[in-house]
Amino acid sequence: MAEPLYFSYLSVSDTAGKSALRPMLPLVLSYRGQAREAVALVDSGADVNVLPYLLGVDLGAEWSEQSTVVALSGNLANYEARGIILTAVVGEFPPVQLVFAWAKTDRIPLILGQNNFFQEFDVGFFRSQNAFQIMPNGGG
Amino acid sequence: MLSDSLIRELHKLSRVEKIRAMRLLLDDLAAEEEPFFPATAEYAVWSPFDCADASEKLTALLEQERRRG
């Protein structure tokens, strides 16, 4: 059984320039052979994973090829979004397929939500210690 | 300054007036506190919450991909 990986909360600046500690997870995303390092917000309140537009473009994805149109809520409600499947590698853990709502905006962080990041990984938040842990759940 | 005469006056107030005075003082105290969430600040909520339909569509897309490959 894999040992969990621990990560520190990172200080992230908001649009007003104020910083806050957030659980940001470094990972490698790939799509059809193209890979990019990224840092994602681990967001247990998000129903789905969300991919910012330019990161998808940087991975070589074509917007017009993605035919699954999805509607998002909150600050994302005004943006068009389409489903896309990427491969993600966290640390030394085996790669997993993550499905994202690829949103046509870059005013958002890369978000890892319930569907399906939290289905692939068990996550523990230890805010008082500025740390969180990630472990593959093995069930998929 | 909280004098004895003021305390006596407060005690003479009716129940409704006492509650009103208490609320006034509580409002004063709250206004003097450093606000935890400043009213003028904006708080972005990027979490796509309550997106069951999007979630179902993405699950179907993933299952389709897994069947294919």
Mean per-residue pLDDT pooled into runs of 10, chain A (140 residues):
91 78 96 96 94 97 94 87 96 95 93 95 95 84
Q: A9-49, pLDDT tens digit by residue? A: 999 887 667 788 999 999 999 999 999 999 999 999 999 99
- Interface test mutation site (partner B, options A22, A43, A80, A85, max chain B beta carbons within 10 A): A85
Q: What distance lies between CA A123 and its chain's CA centroid? A: 13
> Which residue carries 């070589």 as its tokens?
A60
| Number of residues assigned to chain A | 140
Q: Which run of H or of E encompasses A132?
A: strand A131-136
Q: Is B46 helix (H, G, I), strand (E, B) or coil?
A: coil
Q: Between chains, do A85 and B61 touch, taking CB under 8 Å as contact? A: yes
Q: What letter does residue A115 receive in the DSSP assignment?
A: B
Q: Between chains, do B51 and A72 touch, taking CB under 8 Å as contact? A: yes
User: How far is the C-alpha of A43 from the C-alpha of A55, rounded, in Å?
Assistant: 18
Q: B29-44, pLDDT tens digit by residue? A: 877 766 565 666 666 6
Q: Is A71 on the interface with B (CB under 8 A)?
A: yes
pTM over 0.90: no
Q: Between chains, do B54 and A71 touch, taking CB under 8 Å as contact? A: yes
Q: Is A50 on the interface with B (CB under 8 A)?
A: yes
